Each structure stands twice: as C-alpha cells, then as structure tokens.
Structure 1
Amino acid sequence: MNWKQVPLGPLQTNCYLLMNQQKEAVIFDPGGDGPQLNAYLKKEGITPLAILLTHAHFDHIGAVDDVRNEWGIKVYLHKNETEWLGDSTKNGSAFFLGNQEIIINDADHIIHGEGTLSIGSFEFKIYETPGHSPGSVSFYFEPLGIVFSGDALFAGSIGRTDLPGGNHQQLLDCIHDKLLELPEDTIVASGHGPTTTIGQEMDSNPFLSGF
C-alpha cells in the first residue's frame, strides 16, 4: 500500500491517490484538471475503484465527472452536502470562479454517518468533522496510519469557517474529539499545503493550543 499527493485545479487542492500492490486506487477530492489526472492514471497503470469526497466545495470536486465517467466508478459524499454538487452557489464556484461555475452529477453513494467503509481491499473509518462545511468527513486508513482530513485540519492551521454552513466552535470540537484522538504519529493528509502529523499539530498548532 502507498499513497500520493497530487495538487489539482484552480487552487491546487490536494487530491490523494491511495493504492494497493495491484495498483488499484481510491481517489480523494479530485479538484480539477480531470484530463491530466486521467492521463496520469493510465500512464502509471493505476485502476481507480472509487472517488471519496471529504466535502463538496468547488475546489475539491472539479474533476469528479471527468474521472467518474472515464473509469465508470462511484462517488461517495456525506448526506449533508448531497445538493452541493449540482448547485454552484452551494459549492462556491458561482462566487469564486464567476463564469466558470462547476456543476457535477449527483453522488452515487451517500454517507449517512460515522462507521466503516470498505471498497475493494481498502477499509476506512469515517469520522464526521463538520465546521468547515456541514458535510465534512475525514477518512482514516489505519494500515498506513493516515487520515484524509480535507479542509478540517492543516499543518499549523484549521479550515476556514466563514463560508456558508461553517462553524468555528464545531470545527474545533470535532478536531479535538475525533482527529486528536488518533495516534500521534498519524499522517494528516490535508486538502491544502503539506502533510503533517497529529502529534505535531497537538504540539504546535496555534488554533489547538487550548487543548
């Protein structure tokens, strides 16, 4: 098993590929540049199995249909943002991209709450981590000690909470009650910027200093 960070789209949002030895992959948050991502997958002989969305802001979903249609795979999204994919005002593209609104077809599988999700040889623990957006989730893959946290937790920072549905205290509570309960050596694969670890953020993240 291994993983790769691939910045994509207008904000260079981190897309992640989690791969097994057979080069089957789960794709997290393909934010844009769909044709280039598909070309890379073909070049490397990688076979996608599914797309997992940490949330449905425009910069995390831009390449969803390009990848889904090319490979015939399913898209997973939390129930609280099921309407966001097809609504440019909710996913934010109407405000941030102007005439380049992003409209994506509905998700194939709806995440209704926390629990375990199995896709092929991959098994994840799902944590609801709203606050940046109401349907934000984090996917913990224990075999590699990595959590795909979307825009909940960053190296030295946390997700912005001034967008529709954001809630600063809710985000802090979710980080404290769920993400910081993971082993300290857990890699945090964030939606933007470099990766970090739970222990590093516990020690030095100024937003978490009260915990």
Structure 2
Amino acid sequence: MQWKRMPLGPLQTNAYILTNESKEALIIDPGEEPQAIFQYIEECGAQPLAILLTHAHFDHIGALETVRTKYTIPVYLHENEADWLSNPDKNGSAHFPMVSACHCQPAERIIIGEQQALVIGGFEFTIFETPGHSPGSVSFYFPDDHVIFSGDVLFKGSVGRTDLYGGDQLTLFESIENKLLPLPEKTRVAPGHGFETTIGEEQAMNPFLT
C-alpha cells in the first residue's frame, strides 16, 4: 500500500489518499480542495472505494459531499458523530469565520460503533476508537504497513486540542495511552495536521506524554 499526504484548506488539514496494487483507493478526511484530490486520483488511475473520517470537524469534511458525489462511495464515521455532518455547531464550522458552515449529509453512511476490523476491497485494517479530541474520533491502523492514521488525536510532538464541542482531555490521554502507545515503536503515525512521526519517537520525545 502507498499513501499520499495532502495538506488542504486554510488549516492545512491532512487528507490521505491510500492506493494499492489493484489501483483501488481509500480517501481519509477530504477536508477541502476537492479538485486537488480528483487530480491526484486521476494521475494514479485509481478507483476510490470509500471515504474514511477520523472525525467530523469542519476542516476534515469540507470537501466530503463533493468527493462522495463524484465517486458515489460510502462514508465511514463513528456513531457518536453521526449527526455532526449537518450540524455546524457540532462540527465547528459555525465558530470559524474563515470557512463556510458545513451542511453535508452523504446519502450512504456506514456507522462505526466499536473497535472493529474491516476489509474494503484489497485493504485490511482495524478501526480504533480514540475519543477525546471529539467524542467520535477514531484511528485507522494498517498493521501490515506499520502505519496508523491518527486524525487529531496524536501529532508529532503534540496531542489534539480538547476545547472544542465534546472534547475531553482525560479521555484523550486515555485513548493515546491505551490504544496508540502500545503499538510497535516502528509504527508510523500519519496525523491530521503536520508531519509523520512514529510511536517510538512520541514515546520518547513528546512533551505531553513524557
């Protein structure tokens, strides 16, 4: 599996496009700039199978409806945020004047309700429930590729904020401690903002965790 990190929108939120040898693709957190996503997928000659949301904050869903409509693919999100896509107060877009309020309601949603293993096409991965930054935050772990897409839970040298709707600091640190840090140290962490890191690096160097 290969993936492309694409910082998009005013907050430079990382969308990720995952592709495999069969030219299948998964799209994680299409936050803004749908044309950039379309161009990359066209260059790869890939066929998108699904959109995966680490959580439903506005900067992670800004291009969601446009992308979903173009490819007619399902959207995976946690049940705790099932109503956030069309609620600007919950997804946060009502409180940030530099963006338009998000009112999207994809026709096909697949609700995640617990930690589970999933197979989508040729992709096999595990969904970890990692709340704290938001109630429905999840992380997508691909053990064969030694990578976890952590959304806004764990960053290089930092952790997610908890001052937005539904955030909870204690829950965030429990998620990191119980779900992410037990992974092998070589596991790469692909966060929702900023650059890639590893579990081992964060165990050793992250000032919020040491």
Q: How does 1:47-196 map to 2 (within 5 A)?
A: 47-97=47-97, 100-106=100-106, 108-196=109-197
Using the TM superposition, name which of 145-154 and 26-35 deviates more.
Answer: 26-35
TM-score by length of 2: 0.96
Distance 2:123 2:80 in 1: 24
Contact 1:35 1:66 in 2 (8 A): no
CA distance in 2, matches of 1:84, 1:10: 20
Following superposition, the deviation at residue 35 of structure 1 comes to 2.3
Q: Which residue pairs with 1:34 in the alignment?
A: 34
Q: Which moved more, 1:192-201 or 1:41-50?
A: 41-50
Q: 1:44 to 1:205 in 2, by over 3 A?
A: same
Q: Which region of structure 1 is more displaced relative to structure 2, 38-47 or 74-83?
A: 38-47
Q: CA deviation at 1:99?
A: 6.7
Shift of 1:185: 0.3
Deviation at 1:189, TM superposition (A): 0.4
Percent identical residues: 56
Contact 1:131 1:161 in 2 (8 A): yes
Q: Which amino acid aligns with 2:69?
A: N
User: SS where residue 208 of structure 1 aligns?
Assistant: coil
Q: Distance in 1 between matches of 2:131 and 2:92?
A: 17
TM-score between the two structures when normalised by the length of structure 1: 0.96
Q: Which moved more, 1:108-117 or 1:32-41?
A: 32-41
* Alpha-carbon offset, residue 5 of structure 1: 0.5
What residue ranges of structure 2 are gaps of 5+ in the alignment?
Answer: none
Query: Letter of the aligned partner of 2:156 in structure 1?
Result: A
Q: Does structure 2 retain, via aligned residues, the 8 Å contact 1:129–1:171?
A: yes
Query: Residues 146 and 186 of structure 1 are in contact (CA less than 8 Å); yes or no, is this contact kept in structure 2?
Result: yes
| 1:141-167, Cα deviation, whole Å (9 max, x unpaired) | 011100000000000000000111111
**What's the offset of the Cα at 1:98?**
5.9
Structure 1: segments with no counterpart, 5+ residues: none
**1:71-103: per-residue Cα shift (whole Å, max 9, x none)?**
111100000000100011110011113671111
Number of residue equivalences:
209
Contact 1:78 1:110 survives alignment (8 Å): yes
Conserved in 1, the CA contact under 8 Å of 2:17 and 2:27? yes
In structure 2, C-alpha distance between the alignment counterparts of 1:100 and 1:92, rounded to whole Å? 10
Aligned to 2:24: 24
**RMSD over aligned Cα, in angstroms?**
1.2
Shift of 1:202: 0.1
Q: State the Cα distance separating 1:36 from its structure 2 match.
A: 2.6
In the TM superposition, what whole-angstrom CA distance separates every residue of 1:121-146 from its partner, at most 9, and x where no partner exists? 11111111000000000010011100
1:90 maps to a residue whose letter is K
Aligned partners of 1:50, 1:72: CA distance in 2, in Å? Answer: 9
